[in-house]
Amino acid sequence: NAGVTQTPKFQVLKTGQSMTLQCAQDMNHNSMYWYRQDPGMGLRLIYYSASEGTTDKGEVPNGYNVSRLNKREFSLRLESAAPSQTSVYFCASSHLAGSKETQYFGPGTRLLVL
Amino acid sequence: SQQGEEDPQALSIQEGENATMNCSYKTSINNLQWYRQNSGRGLVHLILIRSNEREKHSGRLRVTLDTSKKSSSLLITASRAADTASYFCAPSGDSGYALNFGKGTSLLVTP
């Protein structure tokens, strides 16, 4: 099992460009999450999907959109990238939504917006 | 969901020593999780302690929870260089689907 995979690993964008970060899990988990991690800020939740067909905003959703394509895949889209979106993006999944669930994280996508 | 606050922000010890890091939170919880993040990697779940538990062990890890003080501690015994990482707590209550992570404690274990 690969667990949670993310593509790409690194990306450089110019301000105003768009891109989609891909995430897939092979653990048959119902819930998936997108976080961003900035130096000295810890992880902040962008969006999550409690189950296939549902998505909800997290703490910092502005400037992002998500799609729960199917049970395995949860993508994060930046429509018009800004330098403030330079960060490391982590996708995670859990069997069910809920605070007692263990989350499994992908290796991250490092994004630089110039 | 609420966020935990880890303390200290950074900790440097030598191999073989014990490392203790703390987590404080503000409101009542159902459980609290600890995660580790090695440099450049995603977070890895270490242990979950429920609100009705006071102490839990997993290998060289010992977690305590004091709900009256709204705090938890993570003790790593006989630290190794491989324990060098950032450690995050995630306290959770009844509501909310997701976890909130604090800024973490950065642990450096030197040979």
Q: Does A102 touch chain B (CB under 8 A)?
A: yes
**B46 contact A CB<8A:** no
Give yes or no for residue B100 having a pLDDT over 90.
Answer: no
B109 touches chain A (CB under 8 A): no
Joined tokens for residue A27: 């653990």
Q: Where does residue B69 fall: left (phi above 0), alpha (psi -120 to 50 degrees), or beta otherwise? A: alpha
Predicted pLDDT of residue A97: 75
Q: Which of A31, A33, A102 sits opposite B48 (nearest CB)?
A: A102
pLDDT of residue A100: 74
- Picking from A68, A60, A78, the residue whose alpha carbon sits closest to that of residue A21 is A78
Q: Is B45 on the interface with A (CB under 8 A)?
A: yes
- The percentage of residues in chain A with a pLDDT greater than 70, rounded to a whole number, is 99
Secondary structure of A65-87 as H, E, C letters:
EEEECCCCEEEEEECCCCHHHCE
pLDDT tens column, A39-91: 877 889 999 999 999 999 998 999 999 999 899 999 999 999 999 999 999 99
Which residue in B has a C-alpha nearest to residue A60's C-alpha? B100
- Residues of B whose CB is below 8 A from A59: 100
Contact, B25 vs B7, CB < 8 A? no
What percent of chain A has a predicted confidence (pLDDT) above 90? 82
